[in-house]
Chain A
Amino acid sequence: MEAVRRNGSPEVNRSMEPHITSQKKYRRYNKYIPALLLLLPLLLLIIGFFIVPMLYILYLSFIQTDGLDTSNASYSLMNYTRFFTDSYYLSSLWLTIKISLYCVIVSLLLAYPVALTMSKCTPRVRGYIALLVASPLLISIVVRNFGWFLLLLPNGMIHRTIGSLGIDSSSLRLLFSETGVVIGLSNSFLPFMILAIATSLYNIDPSLEKASAILGASPLRSFFSITLPLSLPGVVSGSVLVFSLSMSSYVTPALMGGANVPVLPVVAYDQMINLMQWTYGSAMSYVLLGVTLFLVTVFTRSMERSRFKEVFR
């Protein structure tokens, strides 16, 4: 009997006092209005200058036309089939992925020791190092790349230094090569990797290392069985960040790689601006976006389901 009454009561309330329920509902939405108003300027900006153009590019990518004239266009998957059947464009995609992976590896190897040092320091020293790490972000990427450009020139400082040691460096191609692009990109994105790893290292309970030591683990073993696995969330988020940024970067490959390193963003830019192939360029942009999202998702998911899945909770 108790159960029946309990089950019945909301029904009764709803039918007998409908105005109260609707008033409550009205009040419930009321409290979101100030938040909505505060978000409105940015929301409009994003819709107007990001979402709409993105949708327009998506629309363009499905159009088959000659040049800029869309008056007698027809819809088709032509742009996409052209991309996936032409080995030049496929190899450009592969090059982009390869360079991005190199960037992830290089920045990981350079960033981890710095992050580890930061996590061992007092908060004061840690602050100074963080400032130092982030300071390159204050300078424009073009300026930083141009700095590397001068250093890596065939008669630049690095080549001359190697030459002065009596080693023939003429076969070494630093500029206008994949090496140059990887150097430039890794340098640009290193701060993101360092800060991502450092953040996850700060969160490790320092007594875990003590516990590991007292159980007999040498510092090296403690690092590989405790510290490294527990810092994986930072490693993964840093890698995803650097990978996505490298996949979509245009300035550095254009400047440091030139025509020798035709990564997809550079090729797409060429199609759009120089060849006026807007629809094909649009399709290329979406292929880049899709592949990046796919790889990042597969990577994150596989890490979250790995042996160390507990770390990602």
Chain B
Amino acid sequence: MATGEPLLAVERLTKHYGNVVALNDVSFSITDGITGILGENGAGKSTAIKILLGLLRPTSGTATVLGQDASESIAVRARVGYMPEHDCLPTHVSAAEFLTHMAEVSGLPPSMARTRAADTLRHVGLFEERYRAIAGYSTGMKQRVKLGQALVHDPAFVFLDEPTAGLDPAGREDMLALIRKTHREFGISVLFSSHLMADIERTCDRIVVLQGGRLVQSGEVGQFTRETETVFIEVDNNRERLVAALETRGVVVTIDHTGLTIEGPDESVYDHVRDALVEAQAPLRRMAPRRRALTELFERDAETANAQGAA
């Protein structure tokens, strides 16, 4: 593939299950990096991933992976990995044996499969436990085995479907760190599906938001949060006088229990804040730019979509 060409692309993708529309005219493309596919349960995330993996045929539209038609080319699957959301591990074999087998099924010769399995288990943090039967593993360890089997054949691209599902906070942190490592250290691009916006925001470079089978937004994560940037101000006293001083300068202020939040700041707002602080004689304790979380953005988009649906 030529540099800059999308690794994945879907064009006017539609999938019907009987009368149910799982995906409706969805188009987006993904280049190198970590991309989050965000949406509530039933938004169409898993359907999109299954079409990209060639497991489902679209009702209409096209899906290409590494430049090849996803539903036609079996060979391209040697260069992609998939970590499903659900349990998918045998219980009676060791992680080393399982990963070796999966590497062979991906087309690697047996000797290389054994080497790759050991290396991959080291990278996902299971090297010491690699000869134990999977049945005895914790949920976090099983998630690592699932990630390992997706990476063992060194794919160019890996699909992770809800990789943090069922993990405790520490396990979730570890898994997110592993996902970042997968791209930044291993050089494998990632499409990471989740309904947990915090996970996507902290891990991904780009985001695709689906809702009810429709594409709501797609682009850089920074782009989403930049457009809702705010400035947070905390003062020791004279807060009401400061609010009045800001409002006389035309600045929109929201008061919360710890401080003030100023919406959509541009360069001039900082000058207005400086002048208002002097005028109100309010000692400044803290002033910092803040980004709205994707949670808020998603709620806003959901409200817009619902309103359009109602209309």
The reply to whether chain A is a binding partner of chain B is no
